Amino acid sequence: MHRRELLRLMGVMALAGLPTGLWAMQHRADDGLSEGHRLITIGGGLTETVFALGAGDRIVGTDSTSTYPVAAEALPRVGYQHTLTIESLLALRPHALIHDGSAGPEGTLTRAREAGVRILTVPGEPSLEGFRARVRTLGQWLDATETARRVIDDVDQDLARARDLQAGFPRPPAVVALMAHGQGNAVAAGQDTKADALIRLAGGRNVFTDFAGYRPVSREGVMAKRPDALVITGAAAADFGGMLGRVPQYVGDTLFLLGFGPRLGEAVLTVTRFLGGDSRTRRDARFTDIPSA
């Protein structure tokens, strides 16, 4: 770290009321997080999980993706999860920042760590097992292991109900998951994404398996896959609205569908009912028109 940057950082720390020694004692994750520790949580699903574990009152700041529960919306924001700044973090005088690998840039995390802030990373795999590992890890750190077990059990009960419904599917429905990406653009979910995991947990078949992550997709490209249904986040619905010929769509909140937090079971059960043709869910779904290829 250059001297000028070091002096600037020390000034920020002093204004925030933090120790100005960059050589403050470092802590291991397994030291635990006491009730007096001030936490910053990064990632909507992770923030939601901390609230579900009964530790929401320890959170002093979070990122812009943390919009649930209602109490999370009232918390100070430190920006978008990938573009955090050291000033926004240290101004809240946190003891620890918790994320699932999505926080950045790395330089900001390094400077926060040097300032004595504990940077704790929970498993971030986009899967059911990743969800369970995150909840168990947070439960251990927050001294809430029994509550963590109940959160996982509640999700498992919803997943069991979803599997019972899926047993009646004649075949796995072909599904496209679409998300917004910038103004006027949409991307489809491929492999190794939470959207892909959601589709499979809901009894569907993701038609975009020839790539990993998310890729831009055209309306024609979507229709070429002949999907039985679309699962779309609200912001992406406008991009494809009026152009996708009578294909059933479930348009939902991004955090609800892809947060992979305590509402994961509810999200899977809802999408399962939609894919199975549940009359109430289909009545709430949207249908759009596009010229057939």
Which single residue is written with the structure tokens 């709430």? 284
CA 270 to chain centre: 18
The answer to whether the Cα torsion of 148, 153, 158, 163 is positive or negative is positive
Please state the pTM of the whole predicted model.
0.84
Question: In this predicted structure, what is the pLDDT of residue 150?
Answer: 98
Strand partners, 191: 212
Question: In this predicted structure, what is the pLDDT of residue 123?
Answer: 94
* Contact present, 40 and 97 (Cβ < 8 Å): yes
Question: Using CB atoms within 10 A of its CB, is residue 53 exposed (0-12), middle (13-18) or buried (19+)?
Answer: buried
* DSSP states of 179-208: EE-STT-EEEE-BSSHHHHHHHHTT-EES-
* DSSP states of 25-47: PP--GGG---TT--EEE-SHHHH
Question: In this predicted structure, what is the pLDDT of residue 287?
Answer: 42
Closest CA to 61 of 52, 51, 74, 50: 74
Q: What are phi and psi of 209, to 5 degrees?
A: -115, 10
Segments of the chain with pLDDT less than 50: 1-7, 9-29, 279, 283, 287-293
